[in-house]
Amino acid sequence: DQQVKQNSPSLSVQEGRISILNCDYTNSMFDYFLWYKKYPAEGPTFLISISSIKDKNEDGRFTVFLNKSAKHLSLHIVPSQPGDSAVYFCAATGGAGSARQLTFGSGTQLTVLP
């Protein structure tokens, strides 16, 4: 039962253009969402997060949008740079106490072409 889904295993974008990575979730208890970036031979690193009380959060070139009614979030990278090439994981958490563990999607490999 995949509660967090990233349906696009890979995405290629030209340098300078916008990259849009998508994520869908099924658990209505999720109230906090995060994006992690992973380079080869390294662990995932935190990129940006959003609480369910917001529908947008921006940090420099990175913006996360949350559509609660559609149970969908997206990460926009503008402008995309070759250094952004990595695997991006969407993650979500919700519920109370020990139930608040991060559930990750399967990741999207972003390739930014120079």
Partner 1 sequence: DSGVTQTPKHLITATGQRVTLRCSPRSGDLSVYWYQQSLDQGLQFLIHYYNGEERAKGNILERFSAQQFPDLHSELNLSSLELGDSALYFCASSKTGTGSEKLFFGSGTQLSVL
Binding residues for partner 1 (CB under 8 A): 4, 6, 9, 32, 34, 36, 41-46, 49, 89, 91, 93, 98-107
Name 73's Cβ contacts closer than 8 Å, sequence gap at least 6. Answer: 22, 23, 25, 33, 50, 64, 65, 66, 67, 90
Residue closer to partner 1, measured from CB, 34 or 112: 34
Residue closer to partner 1, measured from CB, 42 or 69: 42
What is the largest distance, in Å, between two alpha-carbon atoms of the chain?
Answer: 45
Residue closer to partner 1, measured from CB, 65 or 104: 104
